[in-house]
Structure 1
Amino acid sequence: MKERWLPASLVAGGLFLVNIIARLVVRFAAGSDDDKQITIGLWALFAVGAIMIPIAFWYGRRHPMLRVVGDLGLAAVVACLLAVLVGPFVSGVAPFSSGVGLVFRQFSYFVGLSAIGAVFGLLALMTMGLDYRSQSWKRYIQRVGTKPRKSVRR
């Protein structure tokens, strides 16, 4: 179990850490300027998507696609729940102080950009032919091609 869930939990922790760093920057650098807060928040969301690109690329090389989608999807959702429910305490506010609508928007933006980043990483992986299935096919072709020919009996 450790070999399967440790990488996914590290991904979730890394994505949550990006959100925490952004919230601390907003708290100490932006003050009450709404434009700066929004800009920093958007950059943090783009950073989450950008982080998912190499993670999906790395993870997709080693595992079948169904496992990649499940593990990275679960990691993104867990990181998002932590960012939405625990993250506001770092900023000094309660999670639902601005309303439930904001929580749902944050959730959808976080998961959406995580998914977009993962899709870009997996598309790059498949384009290069380095994904798990392409490598399996390549090994199969090499194995079948090296067998000696069967003699024909008459």
Structure 2
Amino acid sequence: MREQRWFRITVLAVALFAINAVARLVVRIGFDDSDIAQNRATIVMFVLIALVLGVLTFIRSQQVRPSSWLPDIGFGALGGMLLTVLLGPFISGNGPFASGAGDFFAQIWLYSACAIVGTVLGYWVAVLLGRDYRSKSLKAFTAARATRPRRVVRR
């Protein structure tokens, strides 16, 4: 079951939603009417989401091709965003459109931007260090080519 693609996507979406739920609960229980605390919790939540996606991308990019991990991370982040935007406000005691459509779509844009930045940074770090799948494949190819003796062609 853990090897199936939908399981990895679901776990990622739920983990990203859990980050949001914890941030909302901390604000609701500890700092109910403080706008400063709500803003700080939002910033911390988005940084954690970007960090989780960056670390996950860094790890997955070392193991498999981007055509395998990119849809998993993309759909997981999309699922986490939908859960956060549609179900998250109920944790705070509001509805998704309680603050208006502008705040609703602003949260979608912020979430998307943080998810993309985290994923791109994780992949760039893997490429920068030469630890991504393609760099490892090219290194193995070069090593295999260098160890083979040159074929002598007789005519």
TM-score (norm 1): 0.92
Q: Which residue matches 2:54? A: 53
Q: Which residue matches 1:128? A: 129
Amino acid of the structure 1 residue aligned with 2:53: M
Query: Higher mean Cα deviation, 59-68 or 15-24?
Result: 59-68
How many pairs were matched up? 154
Q: For 1:60-139, list aligned pairs within 5 A.
A: 60-139=61-140
Superposed CA offset, 1:118-150 (max 9, x none): 111111100011111111111222222222322
Distance (Å, rounded) in 2 between the aligned partners of 1:151 and 1:116: 51
User: Secondary structure at 1:31's aligned position in 2?
Assistant: coil
Over the matched positions of the two proteins, sequence identity in percent amounts to 33
TM-score (norm 2): 0.91
Residues 93, 121 of structure 1: alpha-carbon distance in 2 compared, 3 angstrom cutoff = same
Q: Is there any run of 5+ residues in structure 1 with no aligned partner, and where?
A: none
User: Secondary structure at 1:5's aligned position in 2?
Assistant: helix
Distance (Å, rounded) in 1 between the aligned partners of 2:111 and 2:80: 9
Superposed CA offset, 1:43-80 (max 9, x none): 11111111222111011111212333322111111100
Q: For 1:32-51, list aligned pairs within 5 A.
A: 32-51=33-52
Q: Give every structure 1 segment of 4 or more consecutive aligned residues whose post-TM-superposition deviation is greater than 3 Å.
A: none
Distance (Å, rounded) in 1 between the aligned partners of 2:77 and 2:55: 14
User: Secondary structure at 2:78's aligned position in 1?
Assistant: helix
